[in-house]
Chains A and B, each alone.
Chain A
Amino acid sequence: MLSEHELSLKSIEYRKTILRIIKQAKAGHTGGSLSCVDILNVLYNQVLRVSPETFHHPERDRYIQSKGHSVEALYTVLADRGFFPCQALDTLCRHQSHLIGHPTRKVNGIELNSGALGHGLSIGVGMALAGKMDHLPYRVYVLLGDGELAEGSCWEASMTAAHYGLDNLVAIVDRNRLQITGNTETVNPLEPLAAKFSAFGYAVRSVDGNDIHELVNAFGQVPFEQGKPNLIIARTIKGKGVSFMENNVTWHHHVPTDSEYAAALCELDAARARLQEAAWS
C-alpha cells in the first residue's frame, strides 16, 4: 500500500496528466477534475477493493462517478491502475475513441454510463441494496458534484438510502463551491449542507478533500455509524494545484493555452520538488 507521501506525489503526476490530455484533446473539465483527483487517488490506490483482474467479481467494491464531467481525472487514475493502457489517454475525445467526455462502460473499469447529473446516487443505492440482500461485503462509492445536488433525484435517492440503512454506501460530495455559473451559494444555495444530509439520515463527515491524510483517515472510518449511509463532504478547491486556476470559475471547462500549460507544469513540478525535499529533511 502506498504511503501518504507517495499518494501525494501521485496526485501531482495525475494533475499533470489531466492537464496534458485536456490540452491535447482541446476539451475537458479542468477545474472539476483537479478538485476531485485527490479523492480518486485515495479511493483507487488505498480504499477500493477492485483491480483490473477483479473488476467483474461480484464482491468488488463499486465506484460511480455521478459528476461524470470530471472524467479526465477518472481516466487518468484508471489508466495508472492498469485498467487500460496509458497510451489510450491520448485518444481522449477523438473520433471513435471510447474515452469520451463522460464515463461509459466501454472503458474498462467503469461500472455504468454517467454524465447526466443526479443519476449516480440512485444507481449506487440499488447496488448497495443488492449487496445487503446477498450479504456481500462490498461497498459502493458515489462521487457527487456540489452543483449536482440541485437535482431533486439526489434527495430521492438519499431518502431510500436511509430507509434501507445502507451503511455500505459512501457518498462523497466534491464541495468545490463553484458551478459553471458561479458560486453555488449564489446560484441556488446548498448550505447548511451537512445539516441537510444529517436530516436525510446520513452519518456525515466533513474533510479537506485535497488533503490525502484527511481523506485516508475518513475512508478508514467507514461505516461511520451502523445502519446509516455514509456521506463525506470533501471540501475541495476547484482547479486545485495550479494557482491561476484555483477558485476561478473560468476554468470549469477552459482548455489551457501553451503558455498556461507550461506555467501550470512549472507550478506542479515545483510542488513535487517541495514534497520530496520535505520528505528528505
Chain B
Amino acid sequence: MELGRPNLDEFASTLFALAQHDRNILVVTSDSRGSGKLTPFGLQLPDQLVEVGIAEQNLVGVAAGLASTGKRVFAVSPACFLTARGLEQIKNDLAYSDIPAKIIGISAGVSYGALGSTHHSLHDFAVLRAIHNITIIAPADNFETRSTIQAILDYPHPVYVRFGKAPQYHLHPPDTRFEIGKAITITGGHDVCFVACGETVSMAYAASQVLAAEGLTCRVISMHTVKPLDVETLVLAAQETKALITVEEHSVHGGLGEACASALLERGFCLPFKITGIPDEYTVTGSQAEIFNDYGISPEGLAATARQLLQRQPT
C-alpha cells in the first residue's frame, strides 16, 4: 500500500483547484491559514480568503453570514478550538438556521500530540452528534478527503469535516465510489469487522493484515460519515462477522463507537464488541503515533483486541 500525503494537504490543494474557477468559494480562517496549508490560497486568491484572527466564535458567525448570501464557505480552524469555542455558533448560526457553511476542523484528534490536551479534539464527534442538522465526516485517506470536499461543495446543509496532518496510505482503488453517509468496505471478511474513521482506518487495515497471516478474515469498513451513520452497512457487518471493533481518534464516549453500539443494540444485535479510542482519562503525552500505540490503536493493538473478542490465542 502506497503512502500518500497528509489529508490536510489534499484538502488545501483540492479546495484551491475548485476556488480558481469559482470566485464564490471562500475560505475563512482564524489565523489558521498556515496550519491549514492555505498560505498559497491566500497569496493567489487573496479576495477569496477572509481572515478574522484568533476568534473562533466570530469565524463561524461570519461564515454563516457569508454563506447566507449564497457564498460557498469553508471555515478552517483547528478542530479543538473550532468545535469548542465556536460550538454555540455551530449549533445556532449553522445547524439551527440551516446555513450550508462547511466547517473544517484541522489537526483533529491527537494530531497535535505533544502539545497536550488543550490542542486535542476528542470531543468533537460527541458534541456535534447531539446537534440536529449537521453532517460529520472524517475522511480516511487522500481519496476520501478529495471526494468529501467535492461532495460537500454544493451540499445544502452544514457539514463538519475533520482530519489530521500525518501522511496517509492510499486505501482505495481509483474507481471507488464516494457518497456522504455511505461507508466504504475496504476488505471483505467474516471473522472480525473493524469499523473505523479518519486516520485510524489505515491502522485497522494493517491490523487486518496481521490477522490474515493467522488465518482470520477481517472486514474493514471506513465509516467516513460519522453522522448520519450508514446503519445498513453496519448491520450487514454485524450479521456476517463474529465480532465488531470500532476504531476512532476520539474519546470512547459519544463518538463513532457509541453511535455503532446504539444502532446495533436498538436493532437487536448482540455480538462481541469493543470501542477503541482514547479512554476517559488524562491523555498520555507523546506524538500521535505514540498516543495511538499506548491505547491500542495500532496494528498489533487492534489485532490483540480482535483475538480477545474471538477468544483466540496469538499464533
Measured CB to CB, the nearest residue on chain A to B60 is A122
Contact B62 A125 (CB under 8 A): yes
B278 on the A face (CB < 8 A): no
- Give the residue of A113, A116, A129, A153 whose beta carbon is less than 8 angstroms from that of B65: A129
| C-alpha spacing A14/B65, complex, angstroms | 29
Which residues of chain B in 50-78 are interfacial with respect to chain A, using CB atoms and an 8 Å cutoff?
50-53, 55, 57-58, 60-71
User: In the complex, what residues of A have CB within 8 A of residue B67's CB?
Assistant: 126
| C-alpha spacing A131/B69, complex, angstroms | 8
Which residues of chain B in 97-124 are interfacial with respect to chain A, using CB atoms and an 8 Å cutoff?
97-99
User: In the complex, what residues of B have CB within 8 A of residue A119's CB?
Assistant: 61, 88-89, 92-93
Contact B66 A129 (CB under 8 A): yes
A109 on the B face (CB < 8 A): no
Which residues of chain B in 194-240 are interfacial with respect to chain A, using CB atoms and an 8 Å cutoff?
none
Measured CB to CB, the nearest residue on chain A to B53 is A159
Measured CB to CB, the nearest residue on chain A to B63 is A126
Contact A112 B52 (CB under 8 A): no
B96 on the A face (CB < 8 A): yes
Contact B57 A153 (CB under 8 A): yes
| C-alpha spacing A141/B179, complex, angstroms | 40
- Proximity string of chain A (93-119) to chain B, C-beta cutoff 8 Å, 1 when within and 0 when not: 000000000001100000111111011
Measured CB to CB, the nearest residue on chain A to B48 is A133
* Best-buried of B47, B65, B93 by chain A (most CB within 10 Å): B65
Contact A126 B98 (CB under 8 A): no
Contact B65 A122 (CB under 8 A): yes
On whether A125 and B61 interact (CB within 8 A), knowing A131-B69, A133-B47, A159-B53, the answer reads: yes
A157 on the B face (CB < 8 A): yes
Contact A126 B65 (CB under 8 A): yes
User: In the complex, what residues of A have CB within 8 A of residue B69's CB?
Assistant: 58, 126-127, 130-131, 134
Contact B68 A127 (CB under 8 A): yes
Chain A min CB distance to B146 (Å) = 27
Chain A min CB distance to B33 (Å) = 15
- Proximity string of chain A (154-183) to chain B, C-beta cutoff 8 Å, 1 when within and 0 when not: 001101100110000000000000000000
Contact A156 B92 (CB under 8 A): no
A222 on the B face (CB < 8 A): no
| C-alpha spacing A134/B23, complex, angstroms | 10
Chain A min CB distance to B240 (Å) = 44
Contact B98 A123 (CB under 8 A): no
On whether A122 and B66 interact (CB within 8 A), knowing A105-B97, A113-B96, the answer reads: no
A209 on the B face (CB < 8 A): no
Contact A123 B68 (CB under 8 A): yes
Contact B92 A129 (CB under 8 A): no
| C-alpha spacing A148/B55, complex, angstroms | 18
A124 on the B face (CB < 8 A): yes
| C-alpha spacing A152/B54, complex, angstroms | 13
User: In the complex, what residues of A have CB within 8 A of residue B96's CB?
Assistant: 104, 113
User: In the complex, what residues of A have CB within 8 A of residue B88's CB?
Assistant: 116, 119
On whether A113 and B92 interact (CB within 8 A), knowing A126-B66, A157-B61, the answer reads: yes
Contact A122 B53 (CB under 8 A): no
* Best-buried of B51, B61, B71, B96 by chain A (most CB within 10 Å): B61
Measured CB to CB, the nearest residue on chain B to A105 is B97
Chain B min CB distance to A101 (Å) = 14
- Give the residue of A104, A126, A133 whose beta carbon is less than 8 angstroms from that of B62: A126
User: In the complex, what residues of A have CB within 8 A of residue B51's CB?
Assistant: 163
Residues of B in contact with A (beta carbons under 8 Å apart): 47, 50-53, 55, 57-58, 60-71, 88-89, 92-93, 96-99
- 10 pairs of A and B residues whose beta carbons are closest in the complex: A126-B65, A122-B61, A156-B58, A156-B55, A130-B69, A126-B66, A123-B65, A126-B62, A153-B57, A127-B65
Can you name 30 A-B residue pairings with CB atoms under 8 Å? A105-B97, A112-B68, A112-B97, A119-B61, A119-B93, A122-B61, A122-B62, A122-B64, A122-B65, A123-B65, A125-B58, A125-B61, A125-B65, A126-B67, A126-B68, A127-B65, A127-B66, A127-B69, A128-B65, A129-B62, A130-B69, A130-B70, A130-B71, A131-B69, A156-B52, A156-B58, A157-B62, A159-B55, A160-B58, A163-B51
